[in-house]
Amino acid sequence: MAMFSQNPLVNGPNYSISDMPRVNAPEGAREHRFDPYTDNGGSTLAIAGADFTVMAGDTRLTSGYSINSRHHPKLFKIGGTTADQKDATIVLSVVGFAADGEALKERLDAICKMYRYRHGKPMSVKACAQRLSTILYQKRFFPYYAYAILGGLDEEGKGAVYSYDPVGSYEREQCRAGGAAASLIMPFLDNQVNFKNQYIPHSGEGHALLERERRPLARHEVETLVKDAFDGAVERHIEVGDGLQMMIITKEGIEEVLLPLKKD
């Protein structure tokens, strides 16, 4: 009886090495010990002026304590007709996980090119901004780990800056810092661009104290501000440094500037 009970046709295989399929794991399931994300450091910054927008980012690429590259741009011209993007009007900055940033840039650029091809006109910043939000939200449950800022000129020719979180929440702002040193740069910007906590001396006591009048900054002022902000960030954050890439968007086109930062 015992011998016949080994019949595989009746009871199934019961030897020490079993070919039994695993039943306790769902089909195609995998254990995910692999972490698909890293942080590649770096910082970005954008300030909108009356008739221009300045975008900036450092050019260091890190992983952990290592510097992978001293020249890795975070600013990209978007939606030009050629590979060198010389007729582009929009700039995207990405910081966070570099591979996702690159993928995001290529998606947005391809979409802007398709828009131009289909409609015979370049995409407006407003439309591009909404589309970027959609792209990010489409990957809501496996997000692009990238903090994006989009800059350009709006329909009236005024500077426009749109800032995003990794899943696509966005708003138009006067200025925004992103990435590793965002928490160092943003308060400086609040004070220097939006004149927060600046009062006219001896203008009154307590609540009667008058705020300093807000005015749009000139282009040269903004450029100095950006350089100062990054020089400050470089001193206090190890993932920021090497080079400062700046793009100034005006109605004449996009000007690119490269300045040195501390390499330590």
Partner 1 sequence: MDHRPQAWGRPRDDVYGAYDASYLQTSGPKTATQSPVVTGTSVIAIKFRDGVVMAADNLASYGSLARFTDVKRLRPFLSTSVVGFGGDVSDMQFLDRHLTELAIDESYEHEHSENPAKSQLNAANLHKYLSKLMYRRRNDFDPLWNQILVAGFDSSSKPFLASVDLRGTTFTSPSLASGFGAMLAQPIMRRYAATEEDAARLSREEAVNVVKECMKVLFYRDARSLDRYSIAVVTKDGVELSEDEQLEKQSWAFAERIRGYGTQTV
Residues contributing to the site for partner 1 (CB under 8 A): 2-3, 5-6, 8, 13-18, 20, 22, 24-26, 29-34, 36-38, 40, 61, 63, 66, 68-72, 97-99, 102-103, 142
**Distance of alpha carbon 58 from alpha carbon 261, whole angstroms:** 8
Nearer to partner 1, 69 or 134 (CB): 69
Complex with partner 1: residue 11 or 224, whichever CB lies closer: 11
| 26 vs 4: CA distance, rounded Å | 33
For residue 199, the minimal CB distance to partner 1 (Å) is 46
Are 221 and 56 contacting, i.e. CB atoms less than 8 angstroms apart?
no
* Minimum separation from the CB atom of position 16 to partner 1 (A): 4
| Sequential DSSP letters for 185-207 | HHHHHHHHTS-TT-B-TTS-SGG
Question: Closer to partner 1 at the Cβ: 223 or 242?
Answer: 242
**What are the backbone angles phi and psi of residue 174, rounded to the nearest 5°?**
-80, -40
Report yes or no: 225 and 54 within 8 Å, Cβ to Cβ. no
Tokens of 92: 């995207």
73 Cβ partners below 8 Å, 6+ apart?
57, 59, 245
CB 119 to partner 1: min, Å: 28
With respect to partner 1, which residue has the nearer C-beta, 60 or 237?
Answer: 60
Closer residue to partner 1 (CB): 29 or 208: 29
Q: How far is the CB of 30 from partner 1 (least distance, A)?
A: 5
Shortest Å, Cβ 13 to partner 1 = 8
Task: Give the full edge-to-edge strand order of the sheet including 243-250.
Answer: 175-179, 43-48, 53-58, 243-250, 253-260
